[in-house]
Amino acid sequence: MLSPNSRLRVKYTSSLKLSFYNLTTTTPPPSPPPLVEDDAATLSSHILKLNPQALTQNLETNSVCWTPDLVNKILKRLWNHGPKALQFFKLLERHPTYTHSATSFDHAIDIAARLRDYKTVWTLVGRMRKQRLGPTPKTFAIITERYVSAGKPDKAVRVFLSMHDHGCQQDLSSFNTFLDVLCKSKRAEMAYNLFKVLKRRFKADTISYNIIANGFCLIKRTPRALEVLREMVESGLEPTLKTYNVILNGYFKAGQIKEAWLFFLEMKRRKRVMDVVTYTTMVHGFGVSGDIQKARQVFDEMIETGILPSVATYTAFIQVLCKKDNVENAIIVFNEMLKKGYTPSTTTYNVLIRGLCHVGKMDQAMEYLDKMKHDKCEPNLQTFNVIIRYYCDEGEIEKSLEVFDRMGSGECLPNLDTYNILISAMFVRKKSDDLMVAGRLLIEMVDRGFVPRKFTFNRILNGLLLTGNQDFAKEILRAQSKCGRLPRHFRL
């Protein structure tokens, strides 16, 4: 067991049943305060700390004025604690003065589908229909996307084709949405085959063709995208600016820099209308290829032609400066952006923070994390995961856990990547204390609905057994059994 005086003691207040660094304590945690505030962040934090019975009592007796908007915000904050989010949703269904909206149902369906709890997914779809709230095309877009991401595209196709069985008719918009789901999951050929069969039934438009072309560009098959473009013209549809931007971006994705430049010049020669997306694509494409001078040239030309850069343009330029130039120049452009009155997005901050982390300027990266909060720009999972990863890479395990602690309050809950990063880091120092931390992280991620890889379970079990922590190894085995991944070869 860990000593209370372990030098690894770091304040950690996530939802773990025991502190990572004081596993021997017998003092019960203080009772969480009742739900009384109409603030999503505060309520999410309270809900995370409540056990099922306490949560039931609080929802029945609290004075919170529940609204669909508030509930949706809480469900988003509880996103990476799927079981707790669904528990909250189900308990609130029995509330005497509140009724779930269609959007809340969609959030719950998405969470259940992420957990691959398809029985709950279809139960919720049935309740939506019974309450005449849907299901809507958006509901089916969510379900099909989750099936595709789970490696079940054939099932997703069947779900799309059976929408009408659930009282939701397919139309061109839902068809395009489904094609987009397949294409963005790198299944462009499957999307194209479906498109050929159903394009007349749904009267495919330029959006349909653009989606398929983009799908082929995403898998670096630009010639196939150009074939789709020709098919579009032959069918009597005119390519749009979106079409040309898709092809331009496709060239860059495939590393065809010369072809992208010639295509851009051809657009100019034919006096095609260009927009901020066109120029942003060029800036990012040249920057990623390492031609910073050309990226700057296009950036300046954009302004000269009267097209104002967007936040996305600045973000793209900052990103390429961080990757291919130096982070000091990226900060100069960032400050220039602020002086011109632009409000950076979370993505803007993320690329700058990543750049600072990459060159070892972790303190400055943390300053920008705090600046985000000050500027009311919410950090997201990518923000925290980048910082945690780089702290771990530098061997600053305690600091990575401090950042992890900031996530545990319900502000931005950790996801599977966060846990995997930290668990891997716990094996670097090969210390018994660190292996206990890894075990607690694994138990928490299982409780939150994530399914660790079998390799992760076995690695932690082996580590605990080798360091004489058999009792804790048994707890890990129970967690593994809960996931249905109990190995036969362990005998404790």
What does the pLDDT read at residue 15?
A: 37
Query: How far is Cα 369 from Cα 346, in angstroms, rounded to an integer?
Result: 10
Q: Which tokens belong to 286?
A: 């040249």
Summarize pLDDT for 267-315 with one digit per residue, the tens. 888 766 789 999 999 999 999 898 999 999 999 999 898 899 999 999 9
Are 331 and 352 in contact by the 8 Å Cβ rule? The answer is: yes
Of 107 and 26, which is predicted with more confidence? Answer: 107
Q: Is the domain of 198 the same as that of 223?
A: yes
Query: How far is Cα 74 from Cα 58, in angstroms, rounded to an integer?
Result: 15
What does the pLDDT read at residue 1?
A: 35
Confidence tier at 38 by pLDDT (50, 70, 90): low
5 exposed, middle or buried (CB, 10 Å; 0-12, 13-18, 19+)? exposed
Q: Does 41 map to a domain?
A: no
User: If you count them, how many residues does the chain have?
Assistant: 492
Q: Does 111 map to a domain?
A: no
Are 179 and 208 in contact by the 8 Å Cβ rule? The answer is: yes
Phi, psi at 13, each rounded to 5°: -125, 35
Q: Does 361 map to a domain?
A: yes
Are 306 and 275 in contact by the 8 Å Cβ rule? The answer is: no
Neighbours of 114 (CB within 10 A): 19
Report which of 248, 213, 370 is spatially closest to residue 384, judged by C-alpha positions: 370
Q: Does 8 map to a domain?
A: no
Q: Is the domain of 336 the same as that of 405?
A: no
Are 282 and 305 in contact by the 8 Å Cβ rule? The answer is: no
325 residue type, one letter = D
Summarize pLDDT for 455-487 with one digit per residue, the tens. 888 888 888 888 888 888 888 888 877 775 444
Are 26 and 1 in contact by the 8 Å Cβ rule? The answer is: no
Q: Domain end: 402, 425, 448, which one?
A: 425
Confidence tier at 33 by pLDDT (50, 70, 90): low
Q: Which tokens belong to 429?
A: 């120092």
Query: How far is Cα 30 from Cα 263, in angstroms, rounded to an integer?
Result: 65
What does the pLDDT read at residue 484?
A: 58
Q: Is the domain of 186 the same as that of 250?
A: yes
Residue entry with tokens 């404790």 = 492
CA dihedral for 278, 280, 283, 289, sign (positive or negative): negative
Of 27 and 106, which is predicted with more confidence? Answer: 106
Is the pLDDT at 151 greater than 50, yes or no?
A: yes
Confidence tier at 27 by pLDDT (50, 70, 90): very low
Q: Does 141 map to a domain?
A: no
Q: Domain end: 380, 406, 425, which one?
A: 425
218 residue type, one letter = L
Mean pLDDT of 221-236: 96
Neighbours of 7 (CB within 10 A): 9
Range of the domain at 386: 350-425
Total structural domains in the chain?
4
Q: Is the domain of 228 the same as that of 193?
A: yes
Is the pLDDT at 339 greater than 90, yes or no?
A: yes
Are 251 and 259 in contact by the 8 Å Cβ rule? The answer is: yes
Q: Which tokens belong to 62?
A: 């609290």
Summarize pLDDT for 254-268 with one digit per residue, the tens. 999 999 999 999 988
Buried residues in 241-266 as b, exposed as e (16+ CB within 10 A): eebbbbbbbbbbbbebbebbbebbee
CA dihedral for 165, 168, 169, 173, sign (positive or negative): negative
- 3-state DSSP call for residue 360? coil
Mean pLDDT of 217-224: 96
User: Which has the minimum average pLDDT: 115-129, 240-254, 399-413?
Assistant: 399-413
Q: Is the domain of 421 the same as that of 442?
A: no
Are 18 and 10 in contact by the 8 Å Cβ rule? The answer is: no
Q: Is the domain of 252 the same as that of 180?
A: yes
Summarize pLDDT for 162-182 with one digit per residue, the tens. 999 999 999 999 999 999 999
Q: Does 145 map to a domain?
A: no
Query: How far is Cα 343 from Cα 327, in angstroms, rounded to an integer?
Result: 20
Q: Is the domain of 356 the same as that of 413?
A: yes
Q: Does 322 map to a domain?
A: yes
Q: Which tokens belong to 455?
A: 């390799």
What does the pLDDT read at residue 35?
A: 54
Q: Is the domain of 365 the same as that of 338?
A: no
Q: Is the domain of 478 the same as that of 433?
A: yes
Q: Is the domain of 283 the same as that of 205?
A: no
Is the pLDDT at 327 greater than 80, yes or no?
A: yes
What does the pLDDT read at residue 17?
A: 34
Report which of 324, 439, 418 is spatially closest to residue 1, judged by C-alpha positions: 439
Q: Is the domain of 362 the same as that of 320?
A: no
Q: Domain end: 317, 342, 367, which one?
A: 342
What does the pLDDT read at residue 418?
A: 96
Q: Does 3 map to a domain?
A: no
Mean pLDDT of the chain: 87
Cβ within 8 Å of residue 307, ≥6 positions away: 274, 275, 276, 279
Q: Is the domain of 455 the same as that of 487?
A: yes
Summarize pLDDT for 45-77 with one digit per residue, the tens. 888 888 888 888 888 777 788 899 999 999 999
